[in-house]
Amino acid sequence: MRQSPLQTAGSEEIAARLKGRDFIGLVDYKPEEIRYLIDLAIELKRRHQAGEIYQPLKGKTLGMIFEKSSTRTRVSFEVGMYQLGGYALFLSRDDIQLGRGETIRDTAQTLSRFLDGIMIRTYGHRNVVELARAATVPVINGLSDLSHPCQALADYQTVLEKKGRLEGLKIAFVGDGNNVCHSLMMGAAKLGMHFVAAVPEGYDPDGEVVQLSREAAEQTGGSVAVVRDPAEAVTDADVIYTDVWASMGFEHEQKERERVFRKYQVNDKLAARAKPDYLFMHCLPAHRGEEVTDEIIDGPHSVVFDEAENRLHAQKAILVAIMA
Ligand code: CP
Ligand code: NVA
Protein backbone atom coordinates (compact mmCIF):
# COMPACT_ATOMS: atom_id res chain seq x y z
CA MET A 1 0.00 0.00 0.00
CA ARG A 2 1.26 3.49 -0.83
CA GLN A 3 2.47 5.39 2.19
CA SER A 4 0.82 8.68 3.00
CA PRO A 5 3.25 11.60 3.45
CA LEU A 6 2.32 11.46 7.12
CA GLN A 7 4.11 8.11 7.33
CA THR A 8 7.31 8.74 5.37
CA ALA A 9 10.70 9.22 7.04
CA GLY A 10 11.01 12.52 8.89
CA SER A 11 7.48 13.54 8.06
CA GLU A 12 6.04 12.84 11.52
CA GLU A 13 8.35 15.43 12.94
CA ILE A 14 7.34 17.96 10.25
CA ALA A 15 3.65 17.18 10.81
CA ALA A 16 4.09 17.84 14.55
CA ARG A 17 5.75 21.18 13.80
CA LEU A 18 2.89 22.33 11.57
CA LYS A 19 0.06 21.70 14.04
CA GLY A 20 -1.57 24.91 15.20
CA ARG A 21 0.60 27.10 12.95
CA ASP A 22 -0.72 30.10 11.00
CA PHE A 23 -0.36 30.03 7.21
CA ILE A 24 0.32 33.67 6.42
CA GLY A 25 3.24 33.55 4.03
CA LEU A 26 5.67 31.01 2.60
CA VAL A 27 8.43 33.10 4.14
CA ASP A 28 7.51 31.52 7.50
CA TYR A 29 7.81 27.97 6.19
CA LYS A 30 10.97 25.92 5.74
CA PRO A 31 11.61 24.29 2.34
CA GLU A 32 10.90 20.79 3.73
CA GLU A 33 7.62 22.03 5.27
CA ILE A 34 6.46 23.47 1.93
CA ARG A 35 7.44 20.25 0.20
CA TYR A 36 5.58 18.24 2.87
CA LEU A 37 2.40 20.28 2.22
CA ILE A 38 2.72 19.72 -1.54
CA ASP A 39 3.19 15.98 -1.07
CA LEU A 40 0.24 15.89 1.33
CA ALA A 41 -1.87 17.77 -1.25
CA ILE A 42 -1.00 15.18 -3.89
CA GLU A 43 -1.89 12.36 -1.47
CA LEU A 44 -5.22 13.96 -0.52
CA LYS A 45 -6.01 14.43 -4.22
CA ARG A 46 -5.28 10.75 -4.86
CA ARG A 47 -7.53 9.69 -1.98
CA HIS A 48 -10.33 11.95 -3.16
CA GLN A 49 -10.08 10.68 -6.73
CA ALA A 50 -10.12 7.09 -5.46
CA GLY A 51 -13.41 7.86 -3.70
CA GLU A 52 -11.95 7.42 -0.22
CA ILE A 53 -13.69 9.25 2.60
CA TYR A 54 -11.10 10.98 4.78
CA GLN A 55 -12.52 13.20 7.52
CA PRO A 56 -9.87 14.23 10.03
CA LEU A 57 -11.65 17.56 10.60
CA LYS A 58 -14.97 16.10 11.79
CA GLY A 59 -16.61 18.60 14.09
CA LYS A 60 -14.15 21.39 13.20
CA THR A 61 -15.17 24.77 11.83
CA LEU A 62 -13.42 27.35 9.66
CA GLY A 63 -14.57 30.97 9.45
CA MET A 64 -13.79 32.67 6.14
CA ILE A 65 -13.66 36.49 6.24
CA PHE A 66 -13.90 38.03 2.77
CA GLU A 67 -13.25 41.72 2.15
CA LYS A 68 -12.83 41.13 -1.62
CA SER A 69 -14.55 39.00 -4.27
CA SER A 70 -13.62 35.37 -4.83
CA THR A 71 -14.65 32.36 -6.85
CA ARG A 72 -11.83 29.85 -6.38
CA THR A 73 -10.74 30.63 -2.81
CA ARG A 74 -14.25 30.66 -1.40
CA VAL A 75 -15.49 27.53 -3.15
CA SER A 76 -12.30 25.50 -2.63
CA PHE A 77 -12.09 26.24 1.10
CA GLU A 78 -15.80 25.58 1.59
CA VAL A 79 -15.75 22.33 -0.36
CA GLY A 80 -12.42 21.35 1.22
CA MET A 81 -13.77 21.70 4.75
CA TYR A 82 -16.86 19.70 3.80
CA GLN A 83 -14.79 16.88 2.29
CA LEU A 84 -12.61 16.74 5.42
CA GLY A 85 -15.70 16.35 7.61
CA GLY A 86 -15.77 19.93 8.88
CA TYR A 87 -17.85 23.01 8.24
CA ALA A 88 -16.99 26.41 6.74
CA LEU A 89 -18.76 29.72 7.38
CA PHE A 90 -18.66 32.50 4.78
CA LEU A 91 -18.28 35.83 6.60
CA SER A 92 -18.51 38.80 4.27
CA ARG A 93 -16.75 41.74 5.93
CA ASP A 94 -19.78 43.95 5.44
CA ASP A 95 -22.15 41.45 7.01
CA ILE A 96 -20.19 41.13 10.24
CA GLN A 97 -19.48 43.91 12.74
CA LEU A 98 -15.95 44.31 11.34
CA GLY A 99 -17.58 46.27 8.53
CA ARG A 100 -19.09 48.65 11.13
CA GLY A 101 -15.83 49.32 12.91
CA GLU A 102 -15.38 46.46 15.39
CA THR A 103 -11.64 46.02 15.68
CA ILE A 104 -9.68 43.17 14.15
CA ARG A 105 -8.43 42.27 17.65
CA ASP A 106 -11.92 41.98 19.12
CA THR A 107 -13.11 40.09 16.04
CA ALA A 108 -10.18 37.68 16.33
CA GLN A 109 -10.78 37.03 20.04
CA THR A 110 -14.51 36.54 19.57
CA LEU A 111 -14.21 34.25 16.54
CA SER A 112 -11.55 32.19 18.33
CA ARG A 113 -14.20 31.23 20.92
CA PHE A 114 -16.40 29.68 18.21
CA LEU A 115 -14.06 28.44 15.50
CA ASP A 116 -11.10 26.11 15.01
CA GLY A 117 -9.52 28.20 12.25
CA ILE A 118 -9.96 31.51 10.40
CA MET A 119 -9.22 32.31 6.79
CA ILE A 120 -9.09 35.96 5.73
CA ARG A 121 -9.00 37.68 2.34
CA THR A 122 -8.26 41.34 2.88
CA TYR A 123 -6.56 44.41 1.44
CA GLY A 124 -3.89 45.33 3.96
CA HIS A 125 -1.54 42.51 4.87
CA ARG A 126 -1.27 43.97 8.38
CA ASN A 127 -4.91 42.90 8.91
CA VAL A 128 -3.86 39.27 8.47
CA VAL A 129 -0.93 39.71 10.84
CA GLU A 130 -3.08 41.51 13.44
CA LEU A 131 -5.80 38.88 13.21
CA ALA A 132 -3.27 36.09 13.68
CA ARG A 133 -1.67 37.83 16.63
CA ALA A 134 -4.97 38.20 18.48
CA ALA A 135 -6.56 34.89 17.47
CA THR A 136 -5.98 31.75 19.50
CA VAL A 137 -6.75 29.51 16.50
CA PRO A 138 -4.70 29.18 13.28
CA VAL A 139 -5.14 31.93 10.69
CA ILE A 140 -4.79 31.38 6.93
CA ASN A 141 -4.05 34.16 4.44
CA GLY A 142 -6.54 33.77 1.59
CA LEU A 143 -4.91 36.72 -0.28
CA SER A 144 -3.74 40.11 0.87
CA ASP A 145 -2.21 42.97 -1.09
CA LEU A 146 1.20 41.51 -0.22
CA SER A 147 0.81 37.80 -0.84
CA HIS A 148 -1.27 34.83 -1.93
CA PRO A 149 0.48 31.79 -0.43
CA CYS A 150 -2.39 29.31 -0.95
CA GLN A 151 -2.18 30.06 -4.67
CA ALA A 152 1.58 29.49 -4.83
CA LEU A 153 1.28 26.19 -2.97
CA ALA A 154 -1.34 24.93 -5.46
CA ASP A 155 0.77 26.23 -8.35
CA TYR A 156 3.90 24.37 -7.30
CA GLN A 157 1.83 21.24 -6.70
CA THR A 158 0.68 21.63 -10.32
CA VAL A 159 4.22 22.11 -11.64
CA LEU A 160 5.44 19.04 -9.72
CA GLU A 161 2.58 16.92 -11.09
CA LYS A 162 3.25 18.05 -14.66
CA LYS A 163 7.06 18.13 -14.66
CA GLY A 164 7.92 15.47 -12.07
CA ARG A 165 10.32 17.84 -10.32
CA LEU A 166 10.69 21.42 -9.13
CA GLU A 167 14.38 21.96 -8.40
CA GLY A 168 16.27 23.62 -11.22
CA LEU A 169 13.19 24.61 -13.24
CA LYS A 170 12.92 28.16 -14.59
CA ILE A 171 9.69 30.08 -13.97
CA ALA A 172 9.12 33.41 -15.73
CA PHE A 173 6.51 35.74 -14.24
CA VAL A 174 5.42 38.43 -16.71
CA GLY A 175 3.46 41.51 -15.60
CA ASP A 176 2.73 43.26 -12.31
CA GLY A 177 5.03 42.71 -9.32
CA ASN A 178 1.97 41.94 -7.18
CA ASN A 179 0.79 39.60 -4.41
CA VAL A 180 0.80 36.53 -6.67
CA CYS A 181 4.27 37.41 -7.97
CA HIS A 182 5.56 37.72 -4.38
CA SER A 183 4.31 34.32 -3.23
CA LEU A 184 5.52 32.58 -6.39
CA MET A 185 8.92 34.21 -5.95
CA MET A 186 9.27 33.12 -2.33
CA GLY A 187 7.99 29.62 -3.14
CA ALA A 188 10.39 29.21 -6.06
CA ALA A 189 13.32 30.35 -3.91
CA LYS A 190 12.43 27.88 -1.14
CA LEU A 191 11.99 25.06 -3.64
CA GLY A 192 15.31 25.56 -5.45
CA MET A 193 13.82 26.98 -8.64
CA HIS A 194 15.01 29.85 -10.86
CA PHE A 195 12.50 32.70 -10.77
CA VAL A 196 12.62 35.65 -13.17
CA ALA A 197 10.03 38.42 -13.04
CA ALA A 198 9.66 40.77 -16.03
CA VAL A 199 7.92 43.91 -14.79
CA PRO A 200 7.68 47.48 -16.10
CA GLU A 201 9.38 50.27 -14.20
CA GLY A 202 7.22 51.47 -11.32
CA TYR A 203 5.59 48.04 -10.86
CA ASP A 204 8.48 46.21 -9.22
CA PRO A 205 7.87 43.55 -6.61
CA ASP A 206 8.36 44.63 -3.00
CA GLY A 207 12.08 45.10 -2.23
CA GLU A 208 11.94 43.22 1.07
CA VAL A 209 10.22 40.22 -0.53
CA VAL A 210 12.90 40.15 -3.25
CA GLN A 211 15.66 40.35 -0.63
CA LEU A 212 14.19 37.60 1.58
CA SER A 213 13.56 35.42 -1.48
CA ARG A 214 17.17 35.84 -2.61
CA GLU A 215 18.38 34.83 0.84
CA ALA A 216 16.16 31.73 0.72
CA ALA A 217 17.39 30.89 -2.78
CA GLU A 218 20.99 30.96 -1.59
CA GLN A 219 20.18 28.04 0.70
CA THR A 220 18.49 25.94 -1.97
CA GLY A 221 20.48 26.57 -5.14
CA GLY A 222 17.63 28.56 -6.64
CA SER A 223 17.77 32.16 -7.88
CA VAL A 224 15.63 35.28 -8.12
CA ALA A 225 15.93 37.99 -10.77
CA VAL A 226 13.85 41.03 -11.70
CA VAL A 227 14.20 42.34 -15.27
CA ARG A 228 12.33 44.74 -17.55
CA ASP A 229 12.32 42.71 -20.76
CA PRO A 230 9.65 39.97 -21.00
CA ALA A 231 11.55 38.27 -23.86
CA GLU A 232 14.61 37.91 -21.64
CA ALA A 233 12.56 36.45 -18.78
CA VAL A 234 10.69 33.96 -20.92
CA THR A 235 13.69 32.62 -22.85
CA ASP A 236 14.13 28.89 -22.08
CA ALA A 237 11.51 29.04 -19.32
CA ASP A 238 9.83 25.84 -18.12
CA VAL A 239 6.86 27.85 -16.87
CA ILE A 240 5.37 31.16 -18.03
CA TYR A 241 3.10 32.75 -15.43
CA THR A 242 1.03 35.91 -15.63
CA ASP A 243 -1.71 37.66 -13.66
CA VAL A 244 -4.06 40.58 -14.23
CA TRP A 245 -2.52 44.01 -14.78
CA ALA A 246 -4.87 45.67 -12.27
CA SER A 247 -5.43 43.64 -9.11
CA MET A 248 -8.43 44.06 -6.82
CA GLY A 249 -8.25 47.54 -5.33
CA PHE A 250 -6.41 48.97 -8.37
CA GLU A 251 -9.35 49.01 -10.79
CA HIS A 252 -9.20 52.81 -10.99
CA GLU A 253 -5.73 52.47 -12.60
CA GLN A 254 -6.99 50.07 -15.29
CA LYS A 255 -6.61 52.43 -18.27
CA GLU A 256 -3.14 53.62 -17.30
CA ARG A 257 -2.04 50.05 -16.63
CA GLU A 258 -3.30 48.86 -20.02
CA ARG A 259 -0.94 51.41 -21.57
CA VAL A 260 2.06 50.57 -19.37
CA PHE A 261 1.70 46.78 -19.60
CA ARG A 262 0.95 46.49 -23.34
CA LYS A 263 4.33 44.92 -24.09
CA TYR A 264 3.86 42.43 -21.27
CA GLN A 265 1.10 40.39 -22.90
CA VAL A 266 1.74 36.63 -23.01
CA ASN A 267 1.03 35.73 -26.64
CA ASP A 268 2.33 33.23 -29.21
CA LYS A 269 5.27 35.44 -30.18
CA LEU A 270 6.53 35.81 -26.62
CA ALA A 271 5.86 32.20 -25.63
CA ALA A 272 7.84 30.92 -28.64
CA ARG A 273 10.98 31.78 -26.65
CA ALA A 274 10.18 29.34 -23.85
CA LYS A 275 11.13 25.65 -23.78
CA PRO A 276 9.06 23.61 -26.26
CA ASP A 277 7.27 21.83 -23.38
CA TYR A 278 6.66 24.95 -21.25
CA LEU A 279 3.59 25.28 -19.03
CA PHE A 280 1.38 28.35 -19.15
CA MET A 281 -0.02 29.30 -15.74
CA HIS A 282 -2.37 31.98 -14.39
CA CYS A 283 -3.98 32.19 -10.96
CA LEU A 284 -7.28 33.34 -12.56
CA PRO A 285 -9.50 35.25 -12.99
CA ALA A 286 -7.92 36.26 -16.33
CA HIS A 287 -8.54 39.36 -18.39
CA ARG A 288 -8.38 37.68 -21.79
CA GLY A 289 -6.94 39.90 -24.49
CA GLU A 290 -4.95 41.88 -21.91
CA GLU A 291 -2.26 39.95 -20.01
CA VAL A 292 -2.87 36.79 -22.08
CA THR A 293 -4.38 35.93 -25.46
CA ASP A 294 -7.10 33.31 -25.95
CA GLU A 295 -4.67 31.26 -28.04
CA ILE A 296 -2.31 30.88 -25.09
CA ILE A 297 -4.78 30.40 -22.24
CA ASP A 298 -6.85 27.92 -24.27
CA GLY A 299 -3.78 26.38 -25.92
CA PRO A 300 -2.02 23.04 -25.35
CA HIS A 301 0.51 24.41 -22.84
CA SER A 302 -2.09 25.93 -20.53
CA VAL A 303 -2.72 24.24 -17.16
CA VAL A 304 -4.83 27.00 -15.63
CA PHE A 305 -7.78 24.79 -14.66
CA ASP A 306 -5.50 22.15 -13.12
CA GLU A 307 -4.10 24.98 -11.01
CA ALA A 308 -7.60 26.05 -10.05
CA GLU A 309 -8.52 22.47 -9.07
CA ASN A 310 -5.34 22.13 -7.04
CA ARG A 311 -6.43 25.03 -4.84
CA LEU A 312 -8.82 22.50 -3.32
CA HIS A 313 -6.19 19.84 -2.68
CA ALA A 314 -3.45 22.22 -1.54
CA GLN A 315 -5.75 23.99 0.91
CA LYS A 316 -7.02 20.67 2.25
CA ALA A 317 -3.37 19.87 2.97
CA ILE A 318 -2.97 23.17 4.84
CA LEU A 319 -6.19 22.59 6.81
CA VAL A 320 -5.23 19.03 7.76
CA ALA A 321 -1.69 20.04 8.68
CA ILE A 322 -2.57 22.97 10.91
CA MET A 323 -6.09 22.10 12.19
CA ALA A 324 -6.37 18.30 12.49
N1 CP B 1 -6.99 32.71 -7.82
C2 CP B 1 -7.88 33.13 -6.90
O3 CP B 1 -7.56 33.35 -5.72
O4 CP B 1 -9.15 33.23 -7.38
P5 CP B 1 -10.40 33.89 -6.64
O6 CP B 1 -10.15 35.36 -6.57
O7 CP B 1 -11.57 33.52 -7.51
O8 CP B 1 -10.52 33.30 -5.26
N1 NVA C 1 -3.44 39.75 -8.19
C2 NVA C 1 -4.84 39.43 -8.20
C3 NVA C 1 -5.04 37.98 -7.85
C4 NVA C 1 -6.46 37.53 -7.79
C5 NVA C 1 -6.61 36.10 -7.40
C6 NVA C 1 -5.58 40.34 -7.24
O7 NVA C 1 -5.06 40.59 -6.14
O8 NVA C 1 -6.65 40.82 -7.57
Sheet containing 117-121, strands listed edge to edge, beginning at the edge strand earlier in sequence: 87-92, 61-66, 117-121, 139-141
Boundaries of CATH 3.40.50.1370 in the chain? 11-148+311-323, 151-307
Secondary structure (3-state) at 220: helix
pLDDT tens profile 88-127: 999 999 999 999 999 999 999 999 999 999 999 999 999 9
Superfamily the domain 11-148+311-323 falls into: Aspartate/ornithine carbamoyltransferase (3.40.50.1370)
* Contact (Cβ atoms closer than 8 angstroms) between residue 251 and residue 224: no
* Best of 120, 282, 311 for a ligand 1 pocket test (most atoms within 8 Å of beta carbon): 311
For ligand 2, say whether the CB of 184 is within 6 Å of any of its atoms: no
Q: Which amino acid is residue 70, in one-letter code?
A: S
Q: Which atom of ligand 2 is nearest to the CA of 247?
A: 8
pLDDT tens profile 228-269: 999 999 999 999 999 999 999 999 999 999 999 999 999 999
Q: pTM to 2 decimals?
A: 0.97
Superfamily the domain 151-307 falls into: Aspartate/ornithine carbamoyltransferase (3.40.50.1370)
Q: Tell me the CA–centroid distance for residue 285 and ligand 2, in Å.
A: 8
* Best of 244, 257, 284, 311 for a ligand 2 pocket test (most atoms within 8 Å of beta carbon): 244
* CA pair distance 78, 57, nearest whole angstrom: 13
pLDDT tens profile 131-161: 999 999 999 999 999 999 999 999 999 999 9
